[in-house]
Structure 1
Amino acid sequence: MLYHEYLLLKMLTNSNSLLSISQITNKLQITKRTAYSAINGLNEWLELHDLNKIMTVRNHGYFVQPYEISEIEKNLKHDLQQGKVKLPQSVRVIAIEFALLCRKNRVTIEYLNSLNGVTRRTTQSDLAKVKKDTESRNLKLEFEENGYLITGLEEEIRKFALQKLANIQGTMIFDKIAPFLSLETKEKVEIEQVLLTVEQNIGCLLTDESVFQVKEYICFSVKRYRNGHFLKNNRNKKIKGSGKFDPLIRNLLSYLGISAEHLNAESQLLCKIIDSRQISKISKNFESQEMSNIAAQIIKRFSVISGIDLVNNKSLQNALTTHLVAAQRRVLYNVQFLNSSLLNVRKKYPEIYLLTKEAIQPFEQYLKKSLTADEIELIAVYFGGEIELLKNAKNQSLKEKITLVCGSGIGTSRLLKIQLEKMFPDQLKIKVITKQDYEKQARVHADLVIATLPVTNKGAPIVNINHILTDYDLQTIRQHLASKAQTSSSAHNSPAVKTTQILDIVSEYAHVKDFTGLTAALQSYFSQKNVPFKKEQSHLPCLSEILPERRIAFENGTYSWQESVKVTGRLLEKDHIADEKYTHKMCMQIEKYGPYMKIMDNVMLLHAKPDNPTKFSVPGMSLVCFTPPVKFSNDIKAKYVFSLYAPNSNSQLKALTQLTEIFSNRFLLEKFEHAENAPTFIKLFDSVEKGDEKLSDTTNRSEIDSIEC
């Protein structure tokens, strides 16, 4: 069986509705010709196992007989384990790694050939990748006449496996390695029960992904232990904060056969891993006021340097507090989070990443340690979600009740929720819950369940999607909305349904690069709005564009802070960027909240929420250099006072990112401070924009004593 044939059959067995050929091609990233070939190949496989061929409803899609799904899954699992499915190298390599780590004796190349159903030459190529993979974690791939073995410190081997277990829940990779991690059913039940009790004791609920990762890690550890691989005992080492659940873990490990001699080392490492996983919820009894205050400081700092007002956003503060609790533990135990390819915020949203990097200083000062880029990315997701929310905020006549079941962290869940509400405006009312909470319900009160991982049917149709939305995911949800809307004639003529019908036709015969833009444009057209739809400009103005030479001034003499605000504000007023009301509003912000807009010593960035972004729709900045510095309070003075006007939540991001680069780089900061006229400032801005003075991510991963789990 080919790789995409396996994935297609998994799609069919997991789907709650018919799959169109366009959905199949979008999800598997294959051509229609390959999709039809895969269907023919699967029909031959089904006939070979005395099962019905794939059923089709003309012009609607494909499905398999529901009463045969369990038999299909049984045969599919057998073929995968017997090496009868052609796998990509990424899957083969992980399968080899777990075979080498979980089997009691050395593994022969003949066994590995059979495991993955490949030739000796292919296995040797895969082993070269395993060698490189293990060496990066200070492990070694050894070979003797009787086979291969991965050696190294047992603790490093455990952490290596833990990393491999991240983000594989419900994937082909886990299907392939699951037999190596198998324990007795009663043992697995005991593990699940203990983890539930641990969550209650520590006052924090782990994400579904974290629960899966810990559960499978325990299975792996037990396998290693039973094969005679023991952790080094460190009797003097004690894990802070694990006192509430350490006895539970020790009892569990004793039940699983860990002897008293090795119990201390095993429980210490497991407690560390549990305590540093991602959290989905904190109980009311959990003491987190200190972390809540730090979250508020981070949000305040992000608001100052980004010009986006998030200061009183309690929802964001609570979510960020929950995240920081887990992040603090990871840093405390030197267990830095290793980001998956799902986020990659640095490349996708570089402006938000760099602004977040500056905003987290209160947290790093509290920890007395720098965060890795991966940890910063996780925090940036929260701010990215809020910016998306601000960009798309509107009064909505919400219709369908949606339960979103997400196994990832809160930040990812919030971002996914916001993206769905953006893609389907005026149609969805979304409630996010964990898989644990979902499975506890006897019946779900929702029109549709959207899940990023497999869930049981609780009375509402289920749509499974990816952590990062794909065109296939959007099309599946769109089909559900259309099918419900067609039940009434009034709904049949709604803009949403008309849009869905058009998109279904278009996507069948053409490749759409921007589903979001096309959806919004069609809905705007069918709604016959007075204001024509315009696609949002992708261009974000750079620093020299929103802060031109004519809006940079130098003032000598003593100025009060109120006068300094008026001076910088007049430069914006003169260019019709903003009006006197906006300048007055900046003054009121300081009177109400104090001089919180201090970016760094000697620098203030004044801003306020615009009242009339339709009339004043162009972003702009001004800069006035005061000698002597302006006194904003007893302990805060500023020589450089910026005023920022931003009509929306993202128009200023690129410019402020470049300004942040200048203030974060000692060499650039010296140039800024020694600038004596406006042309010198503009020359500095241009050099940053052109990349002549590019700021790189200065976090040195080698300096951080982490184990990247």
Structure 2
Amino acid sequence: MKTRTVELLQKVSSSKYPIKAEVLAADFNVSQRTIRSEILEANEWLISNRLPEIMTIRSKGFFIKQSETDRKLLEAALQNLKGDLLNRQERTFDIVLSIAYGKAPVYLNRKEEEFQISKSTIDEDMRRLRADLLKYGIEVVSYGKQGLSYKGPERSIRTMLYDLINQQLGMIDFSMNKDPKVTPVQRIFNTYFDLEDIRKLGEIYSSKLPNQEDDIYKNQLLLFTLIWIQRVKRHELISAVSWKNADFEDDNFSDFIDLVVTEFQLTEVPQVERNYIHFTIETFNTRDISNTLEWVQAQLLTIQLIQFVEHETHIPFHLKEELLCESLYKHMAALIIRIKNDVQVFNPLKENIRTNYYPIYRAVSQFVPTIEEVVGGRMTEDERAFLVIHFSTVASAINRDLTYIYKSVVVCNHGIATGNLLAENLKEKFPQIEVVAVLSSKEVELVDKLDVDLIFSTFNLTYSNKPSLVIDPILTEVNSPIIEDFLRKNDEFLRLEPSGNESTELFTKILTIVEESGGRVDRSIYSQMETLFEDNNLEINKREIQPMLKDILTDNHIMIREAAATWQESIELVAKPLLKENIIEKRYVDAMIHAVDEYGPYIVIGKHLALAHARPEDGANKLGISVATIDQPINFGNLDMDPVKIIFCLAAVDSYSHLTIMKELIELINDEAKLNQLIDCTTIQAFKQLLFTEEGK
């Protein structure tokens, strides 16, 4: 029997009710006449296997009347019959790979025979495939004796193959340590990709790029490389690229590519192809980006995303801000490059992530349009789930280090002794309730003077400023669900209480950290120290570590109504105070101008506002910021934000000390009225007074 006949038989046999011919015809996209013809074919097979036939019940449709034993026998027989028969999804996968990698020309009539399906079925397969490929800008065309071929940009074809393989196979095991169950899809993949090639590529990776921590990123990188190898072997080459050739800083990637070219005997690989694969696999790398193009975008989006998710979920991510910012920034930097180049990482855990961390997933999803607008491309659900992983990891650390409590007061009209008993019972049965005080009925007015959020009372209060619950003075099982419901309805009042550790243990840990660091406090040491202090409920003055604008923007760093003829001059102008005080070096100014010249006006981050900057290693000696308002506004080339009327220059020396300043700049971008007032200021004093108004609220 043909594939469709088998699927038709399965559908009818699994139904508890008759199915009409028109319903089956619509499901299989064929005529009712074809359905009746295939029912006859199915019945011939059923009779030969001594199984009940498909009956035609007048006005109701087709039905198989069978016992449980007959049903099991039919199910087993169909499983054996299906054997090598493929469903539509599997057939489409085979067609896509055969066009891309097949050794012989692909003809539809031969595929029809190979799949054991009818012409109408293969036509329907191709109709759906062509519709799916349109989103990649790819057509399937027939060139006579050459068979089927793809028509479209080679880069799009590779992206399509990458997406489809991920959808069908999930994550490929390049280590080849396991012997996975061979499914029809896996068999198809193995037809066009040699298992020995997969093993060899995994070994090359291990020898040249041993430090990649995440298997998901590693396997995506290798899959894309595998697709590239096979296409280059067939001389299906990209003719041009949409990015400028760059001097790649990571020699490991170059060594990796060189060894791949040698081991897979890829002869005469054009430089454009080397640049393409180098750039593409670099987007799967989670480390810092190697140029300044996306630096501000990644920084701003990271800070905005953290603020947004904290606001939406009420999880205090600011308590672990350094840890979260560091990991999220690195991911965001790579994500921006991937979105811009339409190559995004497949995430096999996305459904589990969405289910188990839905509040965070929902908040991240609500922020995604902002990322897409800034970057100028669509972001997949897979990438969305990776962002959630960063937040959920930190959320787990916060929950581990902190206790959620309800600050409460007990008001009792049966005497203080009874009130104290009620308070102890509440704390025993509901550890999250912290009773701050026990009051008598005559002391209700004291509630406003206490730092509490909830009231538990033994009588009806006239007081209504805070949520209150009337309960019996002696708690019983009847009260428990009522209290649980009350707490659940008021969960916005949950507070976080840090847990404390022994001071001697804290002192020992500090000594150990400093000793192991060799006396040099870097980003890692800073994070460890901060975590240690948070764990022990010890506050640190973050303003000394992360100063505000007010702390470092001094009078001699503010310039009002200055003249600049070009955007280059405006950058040189705003950098002068920092250059004069050796906060930055001359090469830092050159790097700022070079970045805009090469990558465009990405430093224009708000309406009429630019943030000139370079990377720390480009010549930033210490944290600093300066600002200038421009007398005659300057066009940088950003149609939405030009002309620039105010420009800041930021010198950042690490990935954390300037975060508070960045937050203040984000607030300024969102406050258009205040920004316009700053632009109109005529004195430094007026500028400072307005800029620092309500700072720290």
Short-chain TM bin: 0.3 to 0.5
Greater relative contact order, per chain length (Cα 8 Å cut-off, separation 6+): 1
TM-score w.r.t. length of structure 1: 0.41
TM-score w.r.t. length of structure 2: 0.41
- Which of the pair has more CA radius of gyration? 2
